Amino acid sequence: MTAMDDIDSAILRHLQRDGRLTNRELARLVGIAPSTCLERVRALRARGVITGYHAAVQPRMLGLSLQALVFARLRPLSREVISGFEAYLAQLPEVVSVFVVSGDDDFVVHVAVPDIEQLHAFLMDRFSARREVVSFRSSVIYQQTSTRVLTPGNGRS
């Protein structure tokens, strides 16, 4: 990991809050020249710190009123099984995010569906049909709070 200074951190904070900022506006907010700002953003992309930009979407407005976390255990555990299951999940339209985790479960899968019937169908048709899945459980998400902006030092005491 390449060291980041306060200016890089400020650029990241502002872009995470609003990825649509113009370079000129971002430079003004950070207190640097637009040309310097553009070079810094390019460098952050080249180093892999900034991996892309996206639009935040309200699932409910797309008819996806129910979100859930699905916790799954797989056997046998191998790199091939984990990679294959991860690739399978990534192509499912109901899947929002996939996390390979440690602990009692091997995967946590964030899904968004229209209703409880569709969640049940997803679990029965997509999870129970997979031979490597030995168990799974789901938790409905009642409320989601925005995630915090990541900057160097988050998580450090």
Classify 146 as helix, strand or coil. coil
User: By the 8 A CB rule, do 138 and 69 touch?
Assistant: yes
pTM over 0.85: no
pLDDT digits (tens, 9 = 90+) for 19-59: 999 999 999 999 999 999 999 999 999 999 999 998 888 89
What letter would DSSP give residue 147?
Answer: P
Classify 139 as helix, strand or coil. strand
First to last CA, the chain: 19
pLDDT digits (tens, 9 = 90+) for 129-147: 999 999 999 999 999 887 6
In the chain, % of residues over pLDDT 70: 94
149 compared with 134, residue with greater pLDDT:
134
**Which domains are present in the chain?**
6-46 (1.10.10.10), 59-141 (3.30.70.920)
List strands edge to edge, sheet with 66-74.
95-100, 107-113, 66-74, 133-141
For the chain, give percent helix, strand, coil, nearest 5. 40, 20, 40
User: By the 8 A CB rule, do 14 and 49 touch?
Assistant: no
Query: What's the confidence (pLDDT) of residue 157?
Result: 42
Reported confidence tier of residue 150, pLDDT bands at 50, 70, 90: confident
Instruction: State the greatest distance between any 2 C-alpha atoms of the chain, in Å, as a whole number.
Output: 57
* Residue 152, φ and ψ in degrees, nearest 5: -55, 135
Long-range contacts of 83-88 (CB under 8 A, 24+ apart): 84/132, 85/130, 85/132, 85/133, 88/130
Query: What's the confidence (pLDDT) of residue 55?
Result: 86
pLDDT at 148 over 80: no
Mean pLDDT of 3-13: 93
